[in-house]
Amino acid sequence: MTMDVQSDIEGRAACGVLTIDLGALVENYQQLSQRNAPEKTAAVVKADAYGLGVAEVAPALYEAGCRDFFVAHFIEAVRLKPHLPVDARILVLNGLMPGSEADCANLGVVPVLNSLEQVANWSATARARNTTLPAALQADTGMSRLGLEPRELETLLAEAHRLDGIHIDIVMSHLACGDEPAHDANARQLERMRAVRARFPEAKLSFANSAGIFLGDDFRGDVARPGIALYGGAPLGGHDNPMRQVVRLEVGVVQTRTVQAGAEVGYGASFVVRSEMRLATIAAGYADGLPRHLSNAGAAYLGDVRLPIVGRVSMDSIILDVTALPAGTLKLGDMVELIGPHQTLEAIALDAGTISYEILTSLGRRYRRRYLSPAAR
C-alpha cells in the first residue's frame, strides 16, 4: 500500500476532523511580535507544538520571521531540527540529562542550564572540545520549579571557573502567575529577575511568556517566548482573548436513538432520563483528548444549538442529548463541533475543570488533521 493510499484511507476512517489554521497561528505570532517590538519574539513549540504538530507549526512560524524555538526536552530538539533551516536556534528549557551533552553540541542545540550540575556538565563538554559553547541560564525567581536558586547563583558568580567554556547568551526565568496581572508574585519575580540580569549585563533577558507580553514593558526583556497565545489560547485570565482561534474540532456521529423515561445512560448509570429523549453517540472520548470530567458537564454544538453531554465520557465515545434538534437532523457520519466558533478552547477547558493547555496537548492522533496554510486562508 502506498503512502498516498494509506493517507486517503486514514482520512476516511478517522473519528473526526481536527482543523489547524496555520494562517491564524502566523497572525497570532505577528500580533505578539508587534506588541513586543522592537525586541525579539521566540516561539515555544514543546509537546509537539502544544499537540498541533511541530513539523507543520515550526516551519510556518519560521516563515513568519521566528528564529528562536523553545522545546522542553532534548528529544524534542532532535525531532525538530530537520524541520528548520540552519539559521534557526533551538533551546531546551529543561536542560540536558547526563550523557546527552555531546549530542546536543553536535547538533548545535542550546541548553538552558538550570542547576550547577548542568553547568558543570556543559562546561566539561566545552573544555573537552577546546571550544566555547552557548547556553541560556535560568534563575529560580519564585516558582521553585527550574533554575538556580540565589545561593547557587552566588556560587557560580564567586567561582567563575565553573563557566569555563560557556557563553551565557540568555538569562531567563519563568512567571508563575503571569496570567493573573494583579497577583503580587509578578512584582516580586520582576525585582528578583532584575537583580539577576544585573549580574550578567552582557546576556539577553528572556522573562515574558504569553501572559508576560501583556503585563507591560518591564516584563518583556530582550527575547519573549510565547506559547499558549500562539495557538489561540487566552494569555490572561478574566480578559477578552485577543488571539485568533487556531483549532477547530469536529467529531462524527456513530449512532442515534430515542430513549424513554427511566433509561440509564453510560457507564455507572450516572445519568437517568426523566422524559423521552433523543441521544447521539459521537466517535471520540478521553483517549482523544476529551477529558472524563466533561461527563454530564460539557457539550457539543450543531450550528447554534448546544447539545449537552449526558452520562460519562468513555474512552472512545460520548453521548449527547440532541432533543433540541428536530428528529432526524443527525445521522451516521454527521459532524458536531467540540471546539470552534460556538465553543472556545477555554470554554471546553472550563467545563472539564482544566486549562486550555491540557486540552490542546491531549488531542489524540485518531482525528484526521487538516492544516490550513497561510496562503490558503
Provide the annotated active-site residues. 46, 267
151 is in an annotated binding site: no
- Report how far residue 321's alpha carbon sits from residue 159's, in angstroms, rounded to the nearest whole number: 67
Was 145 annotated as part of a binding site?
yes
What CA–CA distances, in Å, run from 107 to 103, 110, 202, 215, 274? 6, 9, 25, 35, 63
Q: How far apart are CA 10 and CA 321, in angstroms?
A: 29
State yes or no: cis peptide before 38, omega within 30 of 0.
yes
Residue with cell 502566523: 26
**264 neighbors 252 (Cβ within 8 angstroms):** no
326/162 Cα distance (integer angstroms): 72
CA dist., res. 161 & res. 88, Å (int): 30
Burial of 28 (0-12, 13-18, 19+ CB in 10 A): buried
| Joined grid coordinates for residue 315 | 474512552
Q: What residues form the annotated binding site?
A: 145, 315
Q: What residues form the annotated binding site for substrate?
A: 145, 315
